[in-house]
Structure 1
Amino acid sequence: MLLPWEYGVRNLARRPLRTALTLVALATVVMLVFVVVGFIRGLEQSLVVSGDESVVLVYSVNSEENIENSSIPARTPALLTASLDTAVRRFGITHVSPELYLGTRVKTEGGEGGLGLVRGVTISAPLVRRSIKLVDGKWPGDGEVMVGRLVAAKLGASDDSLMVGNEIQFEGQKWKISGHFAAGGAAYDSEIWCKLVDFQSSTKRQDLSLVAMLMSPGRSAAEVQLFCKERNDLELRAILETDYYASLQQHYKPVRLLAWFVVLLVSGAGVFAGLNMMYGAVAGRNREIATLQAIGYRRRAILISFIQEGVLLAAAGSLLSGVIALTMLNGVAVRFTMGAFTLRIDSVAILIGCSVGLLLGVVGALPPALKALRAEIATGLKAV
């Protein structure tokens, strides 16, 4: 015969301070799991949505997978459009975007700033980068820039310092902010865009970092790759944008593995914390346990009641942490080497976090309860 369900619930209410402390400890552990899993999911999502399966990137073969180190001749876009008929062409405009992309020190008016990512583009960039949406302001003119919605997080600056009309400084020049743009969570969200010719002038460079081409339906990236191999004097390579960001996922695989390892460490620490709390909770209940056995309740029923208490506390802690994570952590910007991205508390993060919380409730309750149940009934009845 099992103990009544209400018995375990009432036991939690009889010790409000101990119950509250245990609840806070469990909620803290689950919150840490939410933060780490949200970091992993946010990084993965940023890399997934950044690629466009219709866009081919052409850059220097010597830069390997780091486009910031790429340098190709300024005549490359004209050479590609003249030699290939693969890019989309509408109203006489070829959807090819020549770009200069590099990391540089950026300073805001308030003295804040850090390492930022700047991309020099032409007016054809939005035709190729189809995820870009102008949120407010206007497209940058001479001496102007527009900033992504996560640039403030990347620079470690305040949002107010990047308002339209303010100035920022990089490459020895002051630039006026003309607008803000969003890219749906893609890597561009943490970039600063300006006119290509202005950026080339300020950096004293006449070359490009890459050329992005929007492929016509039915055309293959293999055509561009074949051209790059045949013209080996140009030292170019071509890759689908989705493949490029997939390679970045492999590049950041050790970071993701380390983050999952942190989840295991946090969970393990939570188990030991739960054990410590539960041992303290059970230590003062020896007489209660012995009395229950003396009036006829079997050890299995008492053990299930203890597990019920642990699971109830863990479920409450997981629920509390889940609400806080969804309302306060979801969408929080995080600075990273590749730029910035937002924590993503999605269904996977909720599932993992709550599963860890419930596991803590079960595993934390078992050892102290088993130890208490192994004691002799007579000894337990004499306990103070």
Structure 2
Amino acid sequence: MLAQIFQISLLNLRNLPQRLGSSSVIVVGIGGVVAVLVAILAMAAGFSATLNRSGAPDRAIVLRGGSSSAELSSTIDNQSRQFVGTLDGVRLSSGELYTVADIPKRATLLPSNVVIRGVEQSAFEIRPEVRIIEGRNFSPGRNELIAGRAASEQFVGIDLGESVELRQSEWEIVGIFEADGSAYESELWTDLAIAQSAFRRFNTISSMRLQLEQPGVTDPLQEAFDNNPSIDLAVTSEEEFFRSQSQFLTTLITGFGYGVALIMAVGAMFAALNTMYAAVSTRTVEIATLRALGFGATPVVVSVLAEAVALALIGGLLGAAVAWFGFNGYTVSTLNQGSFSQVAFDFAVSPDILVTGIVWALSLGLAGGLFPALQAARMPITRALRGD
């Protein structure tokens, strides 16, 4: 039987060039499905990876209790800030003011939220991945900003040496920094004291970044907060903080991607059905002759499925290639619901996503070839030989 399957399948594949027009319908249709699916999944993966790169196991973030994991809605007073700094298990701490400003995007010239983060000098020790790559660091007490690389590329007026208006004052961009492709690269940083003054947040901060003596150990800190009735704070690891921020949008994009791909897949599957039915119809006499020569029904079914799967595989590989060369590494920005600001990220077409796309292609090929294959196997030999 295996020999028969091989012979008929080889015959079918050799005849594909003669049906190039109809076969291309399957290839293009399934290729489109795979390209769209891979591109959208790569978007979700890139966004998630950017936020996940922002966290480190030896860092934690402290927010006001009940602030729903959002720095923008958190306020910490001086008393709470000083208390955190005295706790065991904390190697370094940085009080930070988190706010947003409207700055036009280069692509649309429409205003979008950009994070303005006021930090202490210890913020750079806590985040060693933050490196100035152009210009210099801001000077304390002056209206100076350093811009993340992604923010500089995405927004108008955020180039080195330019000035941007914030709170009716001019702020000079004195440096550009990188942070290993993390979400921090979409932010503007300045001195904490000058940010508090400019944004009228005197004696308060939004959050605290902690460098822990023992990575991931935050329970003793939370117990200390809970045991002090005058303190209303919550601590979480930085990795978990960014993971929770990415979860909603990643799930939304992934669900949208599968939904669009499913709708397109239905169309591609019907195209495959029509093409394979037509292929079987034009080869009625050929299939009946093979059956009359002793070839069984199973080899006929498998050969038709093999043809459909082969065309689907070509389409899947074509769609995967389009997604890889067209989208991998492509930089976009979107609103992060967790931070209420724009986050720039790169599409990430990973091997796992490519495999998912190919599996979809093969599944569509099998679904589109199954019923035509069964029709070919059940075809009455005598009627088929007469061409009825």
Q: What TM-score does the superposition give when structure 2 sets the normalisation length?
A: 0.84
Pairing of 1:82-231 with structure 2 (within 5 A): 83-88=86-91, 95-107=92-104, 111-141=109-139, 142-151=142-151, 157=155, 162-206=158-202, 207-217=204-214, 220-231=217-228
Match of 1:240 among 237, 240, 251: 237
Long gaps (5+) in structure 2: 337-342
Letter in 2 for 1:189: E
Pairing of 1:1-384 with structure 2 (within 5 A): 1-2=4-5, 3-74=7-78, 76-81=80-85, 83-88=86-91, 95-107=92-104, 111-141=109-139, 142-151=142-151, 157=155, 162-206=158-202, 207-217=204-214, 220-248=217-245, 251-252=248-249, 254-255=251-252, 258-259=255-256, 261-262=258-259, 263-338=261-336, 339-383=343-387
Instruction: Calculate percent identity across the aligned residue pairs.
Output: 26
Contact 1:59 1:72 in 2 (8 A): yes
Contact 1:33 1:267 in 2 (8 A): no
| Residues 1:15 and 1:57: Cα distance change in structure 2 (over 3 Å) | same
| Residues 1:107 and 1:43: Cα distance change in structure 2 (over 3 Å) | closer
Q: Larger deviation: 349-358 or 318-327?
A: 318-327
Alpha-carbon deviation of 1:209?
A: 0.5
What CA deviation, in whole Å up to 9, does each residue of 1:207-228 have, x standing for no partner? 2110111112489423322332
The whole-number CA distance in structure 2 between the counterparts of 1:342 and 1:135 is: 20
| Residues 1:173 and 1:309: Cα distance change in structure 2 (over 3 Å) | farther
Alpha-carbon deviation of 1:75?
A: 5.4
Alpha-carbon deviation of 1:307?
A: 1.7
Contact 2:292 2:381 in 1 (8 A): yes
Report how many residues are paired: 373
The whole-number CA distance in structure 2 between the counterparts of 1:194 and 1:273 is: 57
Long gaps (5+) in structure 1: 89-94
Q: Larger deviation: 320-329 or 281-290?
A: 281-290
What CA deviation, in whole Å up to 9, does each residue of 1:293-347 have, x standing for no partner? 3444333222222222222222222222222322221222343332233222112
The whole-number CA distance in structure 1 between the counterparts of 2:183 and 2:350 is: 19
Letter in 2 for 1:146: I
Secondary structure of residue in 2 paired with 1:62: coil
Q: What TM-score does the superposition give when structure 1 sets the normalisation length?
A: 0.84
Q: Larger deviation: 312-321 or 264-273?
A: 264-273
| Residues 1:306 and 1:165: Cα distance change in structure 2 (over 3 Å) | farther
Letter in 2 for 1:84: L
| Residues 1:76 and 1:269: Cα distance change in structure 2 (over 3 Å) | farther
What CA deviation, in whole Å up to 9, does each residue of 1:88-138 have, x standing for no partner? 2xxxxxx32111112331236894541222222222212112332333332
| Residues 1:270 and 1:136: Cα distance change in structure 2 (over 3 Å) | farther
4+ residue stretches of structure 1 with deviation over 6 A? none
Secondary structure of residue in 1 paired with 2:89: coil
Q: What is the alpha-carbon root mean square deviation over aligned residues?
A: 3.0
The aligned residue for residue 91 of structure 1 is: none
Contact 2:97 2:192 in 1 (8 A): yes
What CA deviation, in whole Å up to 9, does each residue of 1:38-85 have, x standing for no partner? 23322332343322221121121131322211011245444432x224
Contact 1:108 1:162 in 2 (8 A): no
The whole-number CA distance in structure 2 between the counterparts of 1:273 and 1:188 is: 46
Contact 2:45 2:250 in 1 (8 A): no
Secondary structure of residue in 2 paired with 1:15: helix
| Residues 1:164 and 1:8: Cα distance change in structure 2 (over 3 Å) | farther
Contact 2:93 2:211 in 1 (8 A): yes
| Residues 1:319 and 1:228: Cα distance change in structure 2 (over 3 Å) | same
Secondary structure of residue in 2 paired with 1:63: coil
The whole-number CA distance in structure 2 between the counterparts of 1:315 and 1:151 is: 40
